[in-house]
């Protein structure tokens, strides 16, 4: 067994928001994860939801892909461009095949995926294990095979499956429904990162048999939500490892124009702790409006290297207590410099 690698406080770490907790990297081995060939390290990319909510279009998604390249974020490892809710409009009455909202995506999802791939990036899509998505678009319940086949035909690389219009606390049913989509995706023969979005810690114990990552809490829209997710994930390190990751939700930037945002110090704290927790690093911000502070945060190669370490060990809390009940240390951090 390797000894734990302890991260202690210091001037540089304090600037990265690690003063609230002391973390150690747990090196214990984990059982073999779902073998679909992807997700050996936590996913890095961008997601549309925190920026656009339901006002999402093909043009906006293309802008995220372009910005991932032009900002240099792609060069430091960010590769997924993930379309969240509100892309689906209906189902074919005969075949059950899901149909895009052609007003927002006039070229179709396949054309959008091709655009993303042409920039050396990967394309992700969203669905729900219930009969509807969270925004009442068509869900995948009963249509898992058709949807998986559509994703494969569109050359999708990442699938997020939410839990709206389903009983979120019925563990047995939830696991069965996620297993159904897992099998449908695997049956296509196309490797697709499978992200479970069930909002509960009970997924941690079985998540690696179902997908590549699993949401352990509700959405992170503000600092209080981030502290809740940190606290929940502090107890789940033993369940994470190569190909299988606890997911405390997306990264929230500091741009007040985005639908979800935090202070500059809070967003940097979240990024630093997420990196040590071996969490997926999915930027929830409009990259076309990314300020200099957030770009500097998300571009930090040393912090990303901690997150992407090949050992696949999630950091654990070895001192401190419940962050949800603690003071707002990040709010008292040095102020962010004015963006140039």
- Residue 140 tokens, joined: 């995948």
**Distance separating alpha carbons of residues 328 and 233, to the nearest angstrom:** 18
- Whether 129 contacts 181, CB under 8 Å: yes
- Residue 122 tokens, joined: 């990967």
Catalytic residue flag (residue 328)? no
CA–centroid distance for 282 within its chain: 5
Marked catalytic residue, from 84, 101, 157, 219 = 219
**Distance separating alpha carbons of residues 121 and 45, to the nearest angstrom:** 9
Catalytic residue flag (residue 162)? yes
Marked catalytic residue, from 101, 128, 162, 286 = 162
Detail the DSSP E strand segments found in 210-319: 213-215, 245-247, 251-252, 281-284, 315-319
Its sign, for the CA torsion 152, 154, 158, 163, is: negative
**Distance separating alpha carbons of residues 148 and 17, to the nearest angstrom:** 40
DSSP states of 165-217:
TS-TT-HHHHHHHHHHHHHHHHHT-S--EEEE----GGGTTTGGGT-SEEE-S
Q: Shortest CA distance to 295 belongs to which of 311, 283, 278, 308? A: 283
Catalytic positions? 162, 219
């Amino acid at each position: 067994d390797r000894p734990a690698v302890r991260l202690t406080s210091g001037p540089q770490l304090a600037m990265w928001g690690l003063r609230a907790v002391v973390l150690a990297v747990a090196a214990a081995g984990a059982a073999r994860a779902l073998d679909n060939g992807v997700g050996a390290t936590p996913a890095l990319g961008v997601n549309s939801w925190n920026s656009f909510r339901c006002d999402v279009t093909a043009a906006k998604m293309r802008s995220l892909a372009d910005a991932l390249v032009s900002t240099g974020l792609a060069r430091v490892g960010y590769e997924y461009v993930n379309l969240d809710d509100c892309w689906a409009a209906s189902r074919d009455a005969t075949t059950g095949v899901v149909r895009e909202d052609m007003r927002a995506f006039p070229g179709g999802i396949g054309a959008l995926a091709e655009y993303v791939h042409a920039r050396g990036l990967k394309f992700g899509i969203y669905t729900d294990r219930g009969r509807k998505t969270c925004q009442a678009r068509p869900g995948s319940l009963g249509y898992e095979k058709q949807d998986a086949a559509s994703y494969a035909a569109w050359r999708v690389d990442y699938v997020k499956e939410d839990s709206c219009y389903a009983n979120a606390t019925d563990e047995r049913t939830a696991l069965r429904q996620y297993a159904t989509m897992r099998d449908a995706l695997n049956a296509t023969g196309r490797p697709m990162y499978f992200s479970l979005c069930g909002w509960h810690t009970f997924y941690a114990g079985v998540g690696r048999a179902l997908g590549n990552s699993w949401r352990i809490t509700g959405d992170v829209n503000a600092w209080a939500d981030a502290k809740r997710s940190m606290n929940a994930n502090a107890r789940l390190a033993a369940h994470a490892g190569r190909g299988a990751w606890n997911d405390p939700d997306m990264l929230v930037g500091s741009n007040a124009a985005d639908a979800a945002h935090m202070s500059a110090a809070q967003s940097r704290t979240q990024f630093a702790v997420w990196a040590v927790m071996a969490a997926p690093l999915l930027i929830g911000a409009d990259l076309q409006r990314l300020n200099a502070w957030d770009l500097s945060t998300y571009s930090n190669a040393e912090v990303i290297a901690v997150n992407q370490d090949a050992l696949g060990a999630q950091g654990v809390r070895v001192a401190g207590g419940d962050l949800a009940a603690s003071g707002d240390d990040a709010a008292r951090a040095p102020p962010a410099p004015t963006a140039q």
